């Protein structure tokens, strides 16, 4: 029997060097966040980014060349991020960067970054984002771009924020909504939906017996820290999470493998906290009362309904998405009053449908094509106003 050969000293040195770089998130192995942007507005921790035009020529999209569009679309596109995530997911690799791809496709591109909530932000609730912060950001987009009509691209909670704001504001100049993995019917959400139903029963019993609801306690008690959000996300697919770290150890001598792993980990291992009042709203309005499929917004005392939404609406659902299933997102189709509504299923889980390995070829072009067909060009806009 032949024994496997032991690593050579040079290989061990390389593995040790790669391990140190991974642990330190050294720029030598980190490839995320390389597309230039400008912060054009900031309110407290929330920022509005603008991505300037790319140089003429081509960009690499998952190994395939893409010509940078000469003409821009008339309607600016605003990426509305969810909570709990850092913004690296939008610019993960130079060759797999959603912001770079959309900019190359000719979209005037903005991104709303909600920042990193501290304990001082535990009083922020869902209404803070939907009815206060997002309207301010969109006003600044209009001021910067000189355009009134907008398209919103919202992933996960960013999709919910986009939908709720459009309903609450009754803003007819929000003409396109691309909602990627946006939640609606939490009780129809597969295995997680069963757990939400059990929670709803327990909370209903508690309210009936003791007259107590989650909002009657201090928001700070419900804060969900970033490390807990990272852990919860990984536990949705524990085997895959464990396998990735085993593969990292086995490939420590491979600089490119370590670089790719470090870049992905920079997103997954560095998630952001949910403010306490946001968690209260999630537990009460979304998980327990499940108000969204009735057309209600998750804001106390709000009379607005999703039926006020008339924007063209695209729903994107991941076939392997266990966090927001097709059954969870599909009811939006019947709740809005839009004449142009469609739902497409794509490969991938909850993060994969935004920035996964298949997204650049199987998902981004479909979403960009849908938006482009409904966004016109700057030339068309100028002709219409002449």
Domains of the chain, residue spans: 33-192+291-385
What is the b/e burial string over 53-80, where b = at least 16 CB atoms within 10 angstroms of the residue's CB?
eeeeeebebeeeebebbeebbbbbbbbb
Hey, how many other C-beta atoms are within 10 angstroms of the C-beta on 37? Answer: 21
pLDDT of residue 66: 95
pLDDT of residue 240: 56
> Which residues are within 8 A (CB) of 267 and not within 5 positions of it... i.e. 6 or more apart?
32, 85, 86, 88, 89, 92, 351
Token pair of 17 as six digits: 């060097």
Q: What is the pLDDT along the chain (386 residues), one digit of tens a residue?
A: 454 444 556 555 655 655 565 455 655 555 667 899 999 999 999 999 999 999 999 999 988 999 999 999 999 999 999 999 889 899 988 888 999 999 999 999 999 999 999 999 999 999 999 999 999 999 999 999 999 999 999 999 999 999 999 999 999 999 999 999 999 999 999 999 999 999 999 999 999 998 899 999 999 999 999 888 887 766 666 545 555 556 556 666 655 555 555 555 666 677 899 999 999 999 999 999 999 999 999 999 999 999 999 999 999 999 999 999 999 999 999 999 999 999 999 999 998 999 888 999 999 999 999 999 999 876 444 434 33
What is the b/e burial string over 179-189, where b = at least 16 CB atoms within 10 angstroms of the residue's CB?
bbbbbbbbbbb
pLDDT of residue 273: 94
Token pair of 12 as six digits: 């061990």
List the beta bridge partners of residue 47: 42, 113
pLDDT of residue 252: 60
pLDDT of residue 8: 55
Give CA 8 to chain center in angstroms: 43
C-alpha 179/C-alpha 151 separation (Å) is 11
Q: Which of 376, 324, 331, 372 has the alpha carbon at shortest distance from 352?
A: 324
pLDDT of residue 380: 43
Hey, how many other C-beta atoms are within 10 angstroms of the C-beta on 1? Answer: 2
pTM score of the predicted model? 0.88
C-alpha 3/C-alpha 214 separation (Å) is 61
Tell me which fold the domain 33-192+291-385 belongs to: Rossmann fold (3.40.50)
Contact indicator for 37, 73 with CB cutoff of 8 Å: no
């Amino acid at each position: 029997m032949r024994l496997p050969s032991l690593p050579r000293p040079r290989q061990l040195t390389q593995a040790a060097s790669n391990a140190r770089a991974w642990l330190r998130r050294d720029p030598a192995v980190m490839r995320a966040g390389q597309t230039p942007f400008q912060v054009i507005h900031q309110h407290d921790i929330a920022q509005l980014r603008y991505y300037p035009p790319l140089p003429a020529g081509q960009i690499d999209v998952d190994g395939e060349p893409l010509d940078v569009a000469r003409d821009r679309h008339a309607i600016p596109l605003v990426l509305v991020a969810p909570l709990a995530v850092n913004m690296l997911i939008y610019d993960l690799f130079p060759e797999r960067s959603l912001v770079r791809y959309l900019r190359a496709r000719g979209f005037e591109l903005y991104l709303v970054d909600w920042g990193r909530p501290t304990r001082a932000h535990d009083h922020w609730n869902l209404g803070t984002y939907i009815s206060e912060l997002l309207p301010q950001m969109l006003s600044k987009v209009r001021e910067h771009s000189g355009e009134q009509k907008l398209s919103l691209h919202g992933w996960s909670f960013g999709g919910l924020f986009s939908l709720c704001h459009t309903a609450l504001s009754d803003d007819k100049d929000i003409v396109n909504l691309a909602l990627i993995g946006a939640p609606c019917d939490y009780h129809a959400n597969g295995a997680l939906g069963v757990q939400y139903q059990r929670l709803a029963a327990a909370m209903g019993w508690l309210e009936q017996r003791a007259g107590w609801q989650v909002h009657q306690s201090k928001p700070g008690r419900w804060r969900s820290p970033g490390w807990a959000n990272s852990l919860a996300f990984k536990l949705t697919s524990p085997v895959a999470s464990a396998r990735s770290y085993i593969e990292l150890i086995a490939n420590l001598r491979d600089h490119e493998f370590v670089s790719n792993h470090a870049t992905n980990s920079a997103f997954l291992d560095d998630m952001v906290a949910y403010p306490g009042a946001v968690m209260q709203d999630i537990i009460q309005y979304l998980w327990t009362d499940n108000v969204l499929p009735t057309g209600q917004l998750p804001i106390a005392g709000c009379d607005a309904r999703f039926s006020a939404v008339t924007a063209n609406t695209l729903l994107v659902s991941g076939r392997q998405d266990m966090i927001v299933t097709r059954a969870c997102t599909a009811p939006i189709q019947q709740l809005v009053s839009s004449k142009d509504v469609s739902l497409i299923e794509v490969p991938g889980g909850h993060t994969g449908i935004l920035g996964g390995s298949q997204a650049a070829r199987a998902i981004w072009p479909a979403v960009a094509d849908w938006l482009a067909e409904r966004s016109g060009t700057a030339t068309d806009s100028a002709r219409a106003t002449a």
